[in-house]
Amino acid sequence: MAGELALAALAILLASLLALVLSHFLPLLLNPKAPRGSFGWPLVGETLRFLAPHASNTLGGFLEDHCARYGRVFKSHLFCTPTVVSCDQDLNHFILQNEERLFQCSYPRPIHGILGKSSMLVVLGEDHKRLRNLALALVTSTKLKPSYLGDIEKIALHVVGSWRQQAAEGNKEDGGVRVVAFCEEARKVLGLSPEEPVTARILEDFLAFMKGLISFPLYIPGTPYAKAVQARERISSTVKGIIEERRSPGSCKKGDFLDVLLSSNELSDEEKVSFVLDSLLGGYETTSLLISMVVYFLGQSADDLDLVKREHDSIRSNKGKEESLTSEDYKKMEYTQHVINEALRCGNIVKFVHRKALKDVRYKEYLIPSGWKVLPVFSAVHLNPSLHGNAQHFQPCRCEGSSQGTSKRFTPFGGGPRLCPGSELAKVEAAFFLHHLVLNYRTYFQTTTDSTGMAAWQRGVFYK
């Protein structure tokens, strides 16, 4: 009897393995007109190679190898799904502009466990339009506030001013040098300081959240993905607690983002929690990375740093010492905008997005089969030497006289109906921070490596 059970179990195992192999490779046979490419191993396909860490201003070994072998559009098996990978600017634009007609947002199901089912990043159709319209309304209301630019500048001044005090209290032997972890300091520029206990708790969980978001999505206790799901639950609980506290009788209105969000009757409490997380991801994490990247790249180009400093010296020379920056001042920061755009092109905060073909799509000589995942890779376009000469080098002057902000060659904030609603806010925050940094500090560049082996962008800062 035991032998029969063992044989049955073996037969089931072999059948399962055969089904897995067939389901993996069958799309290759059924879709001979799909782009050339390879599928790799059953189930995991080529996902691990695709996700292998590499410098943000390089394509990485996987894309370099596949583009060389198969061209800029190729097929693969990624995230457990047959996939067409696009490193072509025209196809990327075509995909983004045909959202909900030919293609649809399609992040892997495990990612929903981190982001939540109500996240604007994963919801579809009318739900996405509703949430995005609310995000645009919040951004617009923020920009219309008389204190909007002043609030951004006050926070930037507070952060850079704190370095002077810390440098003054520094060791005499190091000359009062203050070494700054810019990604950490940039988060304070956005008004999120770990000094407040509740904020510190959210930021600690958010760090685990971010590490899991870019990890292999397999829920095993102790893995980054599992920790991210648990962190998301804790953040959700914390935010719900804040919401209840704000709703309690006698609570003071702060007039901040959360008060505006709570006043909306269009969202459920779960959607409001997801909205806060989306705001942290889009308006906090990515913006702090942008500020860090601008400083990182300027630290390697003395000429560009000098040009930025001259521009801000000119702006400040026409203002009183304590006079606040205005929207007119921001418009004068032309070279600063070139620096920010070039940092976005080289740094590639968002490397690619997930889409799915809703039907068979013919594009030029390619057939994208219905149901296949489609990955428009923005970084591959940003770093294409035929589109951007000397593409791996930071050269802000390449942006002069161009309409790069709306170009197919430059999509740091995505495109189509899912274009990031807060892109301009991020640029203003980066520009104002840079204004006070270059006018008040001399700097030198230093790179360290953290416990995970990832490079930490840092700058040594000397107060003038």
Tokens 């590499």 found at: 54
> Annotated binding residue at 87?
no
Identify the helix (H) or strand (E) that includes residue 453.
none
- Which residues share a beta bridge with 363? 366
Q: Cα separation of 213 and 197, whole Å?
A: 24
Identify the helix (H) or strand (E) that includes residue 452.
none
Q: Which residues contact 245 (CB under 8 A, 6 or more apart)?
A: 251
Cα 204–chain centre separation: 18
Q: What is the CA radius of gyration of the chain?
A: 24
- Which residues share a beta bridge with 84? 75, 374
Phi/psi at 85 (5° precision):
-100, 125
Q: Are the beta carbons of 86 and 376 closer than 8 angstroms?
A: yes
Helices H / strands E in the chain, number of each:
18, 10
Q: Are the beta carbons of 98 and 368 closer than 8 angstroms?
A: no
Amino acid at 458: Q
CB environment 373-398: b (16+ within 10 A), e (fewer): bbbbbbbbbbbbeeebeebeebbbeb
Closest CA to 94 of 448, 364, 394: 364
Q: Are the beta carbons of 86 and 98 closer than 8 angstroms?
A: no
User: From edge to edge, which strands make up the β-sheet containing 178-181?
Assistant: 178-181, 455-463, 441-449
Closest CA to 286 of 148, 105, 121: 121
Amino acid at 264: S
User: Which residues carry a binding-site annotation for heme?
Assistant: 420
